Amino acid sequence: MKAAVLGAGSWGTTFAQVLCDAGTPTVLCCRRPEIADAVNGDHRNPGRLPGVPLPPALTATCDPAQALAGADLVVLAVPAQSLRANLAAWAGAGLLPPGALLVSLMKGVELGTCSRMSEVIAQAADVPARRVAVVSGPNLALEIARRQHAATVVACTDDRAAEQLQEACHTAYFRPYTNHDVIGCELGGAIKNVIALAVGIAIGMGLGDNTRAMLMTRGLAEISRLGEALGADQRTLSGLAGLGDLAASCSSPLSRNRAVGEALGRGSSLDEVLASTTETAEGVKSSQAIRELARKHGVEMPITEVIAAVLHEGLAVNQAALLLAGRPATRER
């Protein structure tokens, strides 16, 4: 197996490291030449993973054609909202190897279409669902890059393809589990970002552990309700790709979405927060698409509704807290 990882952010670079450590020859495709030079020359990506040595076997390029040539695994690690345009360009240029498994590392929902990333891939690359896989779980990039123990889920409707991906990224510190439930894995990964934003806002406002636990628990209920409406397996949502990913993103200061929420809770504007980071917090834009998806299916998601309003409609964070606290008491399902 040979892999191409398209996107040299922290998670794309880390997953490229994992593939190399698992014995899978891997090329990392970077947008900026200086990153490719640092990976090839110094075996580092200092802007994304400072202080982390990368495997000498990992090579990098800025040429998608060079990266994709002969790849069996095409791993997509670009921002969710730019996926369709990027993939359409690569496919339109005939760069995608026939028969390659297309693997999504992205945890978002597309604005406008409300499509999950696997759906965007299948449409933009014109491939059947069995050729699309997703990787999702409690995967904070810096910890994994430091080779701290972690687990994830690799999901595909084709069992053999999932097993091939599992073998390609299984290392002593990174344990992948296979799953059939692509829908559940993607919804868990996307919606937890919105809940992590809410938890971050609460932390920034000085609220305590009870509030965090409430948001996480009721956030899991929102994930489960939308998952049920879209055909996800509830067992997936109680596992690594659901509860596990939610716990990591809401609990860790390494979480991009939680960090954005904290800054908002301390009084910064969204424009100020986004201008201060080079990493993508997918929940910021996906919150609108997830809210629209929930409304289309008649699913009640009050935390998601409020966070989307804070981010995109000018709702003040203190008013958001009052709206959530003022909801009528009801029966826990």
Q: Tokens 């997936």, residue?
A: 236
Q: Where are the alpha helices (DSSP H) in 5-108?
A: 10-21, 33-42, 64-68, 83-92
Retrieve residue 220's tokens.
């899991």
Phi, psi of 252 (to 5 degrees): -100, 135
Order of strands, sheet of 174-179, starting from the edge strand that comes earlier in the sequence: 59-61, 26-29, 3-6, 73-76, 101-104, 132-136, 150-155, 174-179
Q: Where are the alpha helices (DSSP H) in 43-181?
A: 64-68, 83-92, 117-125, 141-145, 159-168
Helix (H, G, I), strand (E, B) or coil at 165: helix
| Cβ pair 195, 216 in contact under 8 A | yes
User: Of residues 2, 192, 285, 296, which has the active-site annotation?
Assistant: 192
CA atoms of 295 and 289, how far apart (whole Å) = 10
CA atoms of 125 and 332, how far apart (whole Å) = 43
Q: Which of 237, 234, 193, 195 is nearest to 214 (CA)?
A: 195
Q: Which of 156, 200, 148 is nearest to 317 (CA)?
A: 200
| Cβ pair 176, 201 in contact under 8 A | no
Q: Does the annotation mark 192 as catalytic?
A: yes
Catalytic site positions: 192
